[in-house]
Amino acid sequence: MSDFPRLIPRVAALALLPVLLAGCKRDDAPPAAAAPAPGETVAPAGAAAPVVLKDVIETTPGYIVGISYPAQAAAYPPLAQALHAYAEAARTDLMQAVSGLKGAKPRAPYDLSLQFSMVVETPRVVAVAADGSTYTGGAHGAPLVERFVWLPQRQQMLAAEQLIPDADGWVPVSAYVREQLMTALSASLDEEALEGEARAGQMALRSRMIDDGTAPSAASFARFEPVMNADGSIRALRFVFPPYQVAPYVVGTVAVDVPARVLLPLVAAEYRPLFRPG
């Protein structure tokens, strides 16, 4: 398969629960996982505090909660702990909003819909995607988008700032991703048949979002998942951008694959053995 990067727009629409959304609110900051933090080296799996990953379905007149976990994640206790912490942080935020109603019934039920899915599972790399939304009033839910990369042999969550520790290393990553996003934007405007001032306005608005959302820093590229070769090595990293980061909400979650040939000169020496150009 070619390592040419793919641009993959994806709306995090989950089938956990049917939810009626109404009104408008923007809050695109997903809850932070309590522990272990990305990049943190933890005690061996056997020493980690046990966490039971149990799917949640809860329906009341005022709110709905739906959370699902992949069964495989239980085999990695520190990873399971991070997933559970992320979900509980989102649930806490929802319940705080419900408490703010002071017993009043919302126009539409408040909602938390969150699905964790196993993306990669190899002896050296395990990755889990979190996608969903939370609704506490407004026209639509606030997106919840996160990625967790666990290295079983190192007993470590892999963070962007550890993967590429030199701040200057994000400059070529940013340039590569911007080029892919701008190419896709131009193609999208062509499909919409926009011309003249309408096209120029959209181009200016959305190119500014791309520039802001792909600033050359680890924070801009904090969410990523490995794309694997058949031999279990990483041939690319798929950087994931929630709604509003590089495109309007209606576009949904956007992802860009950056191939190993671009990343390898930038990656910290201890992680280079995980990669092989496809």
Q: Where are the domains of the chain?
A: 45-159, 162-274
pLDDT (0 to 100) of residue 38: 52
According to CATH, what is the number of the domain 162-274?
A: 3.90.640
pLDDT (0 to 100) of residue 160: 98
N-to-C CA span, the chain: 7
pLDDT (0 to 100) of residue 194: 81
> Long-range contacts for 42-48 (Cβ within 8 Å, ≥24 apart)?
42/78, 42/155, 42/156, 42/157, 43/78, 43/155, 44/155, 45/76, 45/77, 45/78, 45/152, 45/155, 46/77, 48/77, 48/78, 48/81
Tens digit of each residue's pLDDT, the chain (278 residues): 444 344 343 333 333 333 333 333 334 444 443 445 554 544 444 454 578 999 999 999 899 999 999 999 999 999 999 999 999 999 999 999 999 999 898 889 999 999 999 999 999 999 999 999 999 998 889 999 999 999 999 999 999 999 999 999 999 999 999 999 999 999 999 888 888 888 899 899 999 999 999 999 999 999 999 999 999 999 999 999 999 999 999 999 999 999 999 999 999 999 999 999 97
pTM for the predicted model, two decimal places: 0.81
pLDDT (0 to 100) of residue 193: 85
Query: Does domain 45-159 sit in CATH 3.30.565.40?
Result: yes
